[in-house]
């Protein structure tokens, strides 16, 4: 197999990002897309996608498709991923893998039963700064990492408002715990927990302090204290409360301190990058993870982060929700 034929399911915010990048991958071809939005489907068609569907089940019937990229809301992950696996399509599934541990295990079981590759979308693992930080840890440059500080603060679901000149309604599913599995902790925390697990191994204990600035039924911020099997302790802060963007890891080791962060480019530089490369520095990790996924399929290799990684992240997050502390 020299060219992987892709189907993209879901053309919301992240689905549009994946479509843009998939069209740039030389050893991949976007054969079809599926979404309920006619506007999104028309844009995909104008971009060169030949087959468009309002029902992803129709897309999965396309025999030529080798793999699918699933960018649907979390409550739809289980059904869609299972059907994709049963249709013998390899799967790139956005994080979190599912709403709860039971659903995640069912996704993994179905993928294994049908011998399809399953990768979870964690672009921070493909960010150059965070990859270099891992090399510093592995090479002993930092020494033994005693404490890690990690923060991911952003607009969360309010991104739709932050980037618009006029207010745009946030999709209702964002604020229903039964559809998302939780708030900022499962949304942003899954990125950080996956990254830190990649650095330091499994988390043996974790506790959380949740915040409710917007009086929602789910948390809009969280502070977690975690301990890793190798002894490292971490403070994790995530939140949806800022119109700014802050994503940074600070490591305090026995030899030195080290940091890495992911920051947006200025608008002019971003425009230049888009015109010259088809993506921006900010979204380069998203492109890199899809290129890696495609290469894994071509080379018949198991991708990482795997479905098992997604499950372990969710187990850790579930433990954090159970082990809530209060400062009142």
Residue 220 in contact with residue 189, Cβ under 8 Å? no
Whether 276 maps to a domain, the answer reads no
> Residue 26: phi, psi to the nearest 5?
-70, -35
**pLDDT band with cut points at 50, 70 and 90 for residue 277:** low
Is residue 173 domain-shared with residue 261, that is, in the same domain? yes
**pLDDT band with cut points at 50, 70 and 90 for residue 161:** low
Whether 23 maps to a domain, the answer reads yes
**pLDDT band with cut points at 50, 70 and 90 for residue 108:** very high
Q: What is the DSSP letter of 306?
A: B
Host H or E run for residue 145: strand 145-153
What is the distance in angstroms between the CA of the first residue and the CA of the last residue of the chain?
59
Whether 282 maps to a domain, the answer reads no
Is residue 222 domain-shared with residue 201, that is, in the same domain? yes
Write down the pLDDT at residue 278: 61
Write down the pLDDT at residue 281: 85
CATH number assigned to the domain comprising residue 163: 3.30.360.10
Is residue 87 domain-shared with residue 199, that is, in the same domain? no
Asked if residue 305 has a cis previous peptide bond (ω within 30° of 0), the answer is yes
Gap between the Cα atoms of 109 and 101, Å rounded:
12
Number of domain units in the chain: 2
Write down the pLDDT at residue 101: 98
Whether 274 maps to a domain, the answer reads no
Q: Look over the chain and give the mean of its residue pLDDT values, rounded to a whole number.
A: 94
Gap between the Cα atoms of 202 and 213, Å rounded:
31
pLDDT in tens, 189-199: 999 999 999 99
Domain that holds residue 161: 125-269+306-322
pLDDT in tens, 36-81: 999 999 999 999 999 999 999 999 999 999 999 999 999 999 999 9
Is residue 117 domain-shared with residue 29, that is, in the same domain? yes
Is residue 103 domain-shared with residue 164, that is, in the same domain? no
Gap between the Cα atoms of 27 and 3, Å rounded:
5
Is residue 104 domain-shared with residue 83, that is, in the same domain? yes
Write down the pLDDT at residue 142: 98
Taking only Cα atoms into account, the Rg of the chain, rounded to an integer number of angstroms, comes to 19
Residues above pLDDT 90, as percent of the chain: 87
Is residue 95 domain-shared with residue 209, that is, in the same domain? no
pLDDT in tens, 140-160: 999 999 999 999 999 999 876
Is residue 108 domain-shared with residue 135, that is, in the same domain? no
CATH number assigned to the domain comprising residue 71: 3.40.50.720
Is residue 101 domain-shared with residue 138, that is, in the same domain? no
Is residue 163 domain-shared with residue 225, that is, in the same domain? yes
Whether 16 maps to a domain, the answer reads yes
In the predicted structure, residue 266 carries a pLDDT above the cut 70:
no
Query: DSSP of 75-117, one letter per residue?
Result: GGHHHHHHHHHHTT-EEEEESSS-SSHHHHHHHHHHHHHTT--
Whether 279 maps to a domain, the answer reads no
pLDDT in tens, 214-250: 999 999 999 999 999 999 999 999 999 998 999 999 9
Whether 278 maps to a domain, the answer reads no
Residue 14 in contact with residue 71, Cβ under 8 Å? yes
Three-state DSSP state, 158 = helix
Write down the pLDDT at residue 2: 87
Whether 226 maps to a domain, the answer reads yes
Is residue 178 domain-shared with residue 313, that is, in the same domain? yes
Residue 72 in contact with residue 98, Cβ under 8 Å? no
**pLDDT band with cut points at 50, 70 and 90 for residue 21:** very high
> What are the E-state strand segments in the chain?
4-9, 28-34, 51-53, 67-70, 90-94, 118-121, 145-153, 203-211, 221-228, 233-239, 246-253, 257-261
Residue 142 in contact with residue 321, Cβ under 8 Å? no
Residue 94 in contact with residue 70, Cβ under 8 Å? yes
| Most distant pair of Cα atoms in the chain: their distance | 59
Is residue 259 domain-shared with residue 211, that is, in the same domain? yes
């Amino acid at each position: 197999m020299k060219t992987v034929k892709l189907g993209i399911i879901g053309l919301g915010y992240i689905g549009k990002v994946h479509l843009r990048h998939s069209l740039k991958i030389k050893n991949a071809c976007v054969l079809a897309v599926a979404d309920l939005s006619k506007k999104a489907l028309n844009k995909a068609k104008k971009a060169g996608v030949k087959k468009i569907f309002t029902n992803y089940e129709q897309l999965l019937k396309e025999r030529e498709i080798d793999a699918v990229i699933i960018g649907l809301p979390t409550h739809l992950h289980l059904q869609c991923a299972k059907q994709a696996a049963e249709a013998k399509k390899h799967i790139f599934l956005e994080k979190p893998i599912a709403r709860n541990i039971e659903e995640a295990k069912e996704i993994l079981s179905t993928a294994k039963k049908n011998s399809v590759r399953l990768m979870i979308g964690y672009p921070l693992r493909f960010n150059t700064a965070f990859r270099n930080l891992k090399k510093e840890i592995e090479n002993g440059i930092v020494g033994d990492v005693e404490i890690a500080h990690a923060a991911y603060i952003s607009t969360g679901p309010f991104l739709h408002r932050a980037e618009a000149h006029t207010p745009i309604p946030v999709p209702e599913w964002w604020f229903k715990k039964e559809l998302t599995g939780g708030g900022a902790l499962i949304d942003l925390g899954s990125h950080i927990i996956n990254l830190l697990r990649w650095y330091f191994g499994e988390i043996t204990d974790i506790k959380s302090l949740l915040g409710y600035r917007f009086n929602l039924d789910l948390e809009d911020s969280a502070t977690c204290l975690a301990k890793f099997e190798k002894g490292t302790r971490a403070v994790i802060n995530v939140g949806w409360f800022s119109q700014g963007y802050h994503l940074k890891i600070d490591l305090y080791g026995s030899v030195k301190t080290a940091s890495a962060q992911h920051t947006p480019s200025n608008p002019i530089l971003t425009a230049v990058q888009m015109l010259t490369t088809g993506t921006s520095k900010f979204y380069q990790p998203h492109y890199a993870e899809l290129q890696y996924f495609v290469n894994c399929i071509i080379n018949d290799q198991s991708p990482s982060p795997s479905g098992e990684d997604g499950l372990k992240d969710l187990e850790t997050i579930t433990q954090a929700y159970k082990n809530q502390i209060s400062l009142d």
